[in-house]
Amino acid sequence: MFVDRERELRILHSAYKALKEGHKVNIAVIGPRRVGKTELLLKFKEEADGVIPYINLQRIGSVDSFIFAYTRELLYELSRVKKHNVERIHLLNWDDLLILAAKLGVDEEVKAIKNGTLETLFEAQERILEKLGEKAIFILDEFQEVKNLSRFLEVMRAITEKEKRVAYFISGSAVGMMEEILSPEKPFFGQFRRIYLPGLPKEDTFELARSILNKADVTYSNSALEAVYRLTGGHPFYVHAVCRRIVEEGFERVGKKEVEYTFLTELLTETGEIYMHLDYVFNESLSRAYKGAVHREILLILAKGEGLRLSELAKQLGKPSGEVSNYLKFLLRTDLIVKENGRYYFADKLMRFWLAKTYLGITELELRRERLREELIKELEEKFLKAKTELGLTGEAWVRERLGMALGLEFKPYRRGDVEFDGVAFGDMPHVLEVKWKSRPASYKDVKDFAEKVRGEFGNARMFFFSKAGFTEKALQLCQELGVKPLTKDELR
């Protein structure tokens, strides 16, 4: 299910063009499950039509199986480009690969890979590509799974850094683990440009919903489209699930109330695709937990009332803080929860609502009661969707990601002593970002204080001020005088 991601596709194609011109760019695509990462990468692969092997690492159980799968996909893509008539389904073992390698004239390199190590694989692929006069983009999907392969990151980083003919597009749904892999203390720090894939903006959400409903000749109001966007947050999988159920329910015309009913049915009943998706994510995330029952209990407590401190959770569980701290460290790695200012929150507010309500056993029959639906929607919008934003991909992080994509830079939170900035990127000079995610417009004083703080810390710098609610007239005048670029949501979409 590919939906329009024009900006992201441009970045991928630009990286491929740079590789062909001798400038290697690796890219990491990061975002929650089912938001469209794989579809984006496969759309690029389809459009680029070059040597672009693809592997989903969830299907790889060991280093040996990775080496075989990697070699198989590389040789298959090369044979396709070189017009050899080979089907992937016939490449079942090393003998099959060696026969294909002989046709391509790289049998010695593939023999070395077969009898070698992970280091041999990465070293030999460069020789193979050079011998055949090709360059490749290798797509490694669900890249966080390499943490289960011994020494993988260290080996890949040490050898691939020197490669000139292959670049990597990696993706991952475990946002926390991907951030850890790319963090300063890890081998891949600074090696990948990051693309964060949040939900679709409003207009793209409307377009996706229209395309599904129009095909089924369903008439809809603008308030229906607004409700789809508001409740799904633009998540393409959720939008598709809601609109498809609208069609299946047989509605000929839908408004706000029909969308709300359909959304709740999808979310809270076991036949709903959104229900099944959240159930899978929840249970799969906990499947590796030794103390699964305790982890589940912590999540149920947070579902009822998040924003608790460690001491408050320990008290409710009746366990020592040190023990509960270890449980929370595991949950933070699953991306089910996040920690901000010493308090714990659900990363996905829809997950929190689903967990709180499904354990109450709400049935599809009960959802036919309009009064109950109204109460649930009101609670969802006021207590859950207005809370902390999903996976940090909106708010400050959303602005950092969007501005970074526009400028080709990577903005990160900055702190030195008592000085803090919402985002700083270092290019030819420091680029400094201020974010005001409030309901009131930014004032003259807001802009003045920001500019003074920037000059005190960096001297000469490019300054950007984002305000969710816009700017006062005096604030805009001061921005022009001080060289501060004012930004709003519409400019960054």
Domains in the chain: ranges and CATH: 6-196 (3.40.50.300), 275-361 (1.10.10.10), 390-491 (3.40.1350.10)
Per DSSP, helices labelled H in 287-348 are 292-304, 310-317, 321-334
Alpha-carbon distance of 18 to 20, in angstroms, equals 5
Average pLDDT score over residue span 255-268: 91
Average pLDDT score over residue span 375-387: 69
pLDDT at 389: 41
What is the band of 367 on the pLDDT scale with cuts at 50, 70, 90?
low
Average pLDDT score over residue span 204-224: 93
Q: Please tell me which residue, 162 or 17, carries the higher pLDDT value.
A: 17
Alpha-carbon distance of 197 to 170, in angstroms, equals 13
Average pLDDT score over residue span 27-41: 88
Alpha-carbon distance of 307 to 111, in angstroms, equals 56
Element (H, E) at 138: strand 136-141
What is the band of 391 on the pLDDT scale with cuts at 50, 70, 90?
very low
In DSSP terms, which residues pair with 253 in a beta bridge? 219
Which amino acid is located at 336 in the chain?
L
Angle at 245 between CA 286 and CA 9, to 5 degrees: 70
φ, ψ of residue 194 in degrees (nearest 5): -100, 135
Mean pLDDT lowest among 25-34, 88-97, 115-124? 25-34
Indicate the burial class of 184 (C-beta count within 10 angstroms; 0-12, 13-18, 19 or more): exposed
Average pLDDT score over residue span 196-214: 88
pLDDT digits (tens, 9 = 90+) for 48-68: 989 999 999 988 888 999 999
Say which residue the tokens 């930014």 belong to.
442
Q: Please tell me which residue, 437 or 265, carries the higher pLDDT value.
A: 265
pLDDT at 165: 94
Tokens found for residue 470: 């816009």
Closest C-alpha to 40, from 17, 6, 69, 72: 6
Q: What percent of the chain has pLDDT over 90?
A: 47
Average pLDDT score over residue span 302-312: 88
* The pLDDT of residue 360 is above 70: no
Residues 6+ apart with CB under 8 A from 154: 187
* The pLDDT of residue 439 is above 80: no
Residues 6+ apart with CB under 8 A from 359: 300, 303
Closest C-alpha to 142, from 171, 175, 180: 171
* The pLDDT of residue 149 is above 60: yes
pLDDT digits (tens, 9 = 90+) for 266-291: 988 888 999 999 998 888 888 877 77
pLDDT at 414: 82
Alpha-carbon distance of 94 to 68, in angstroms, equals 8
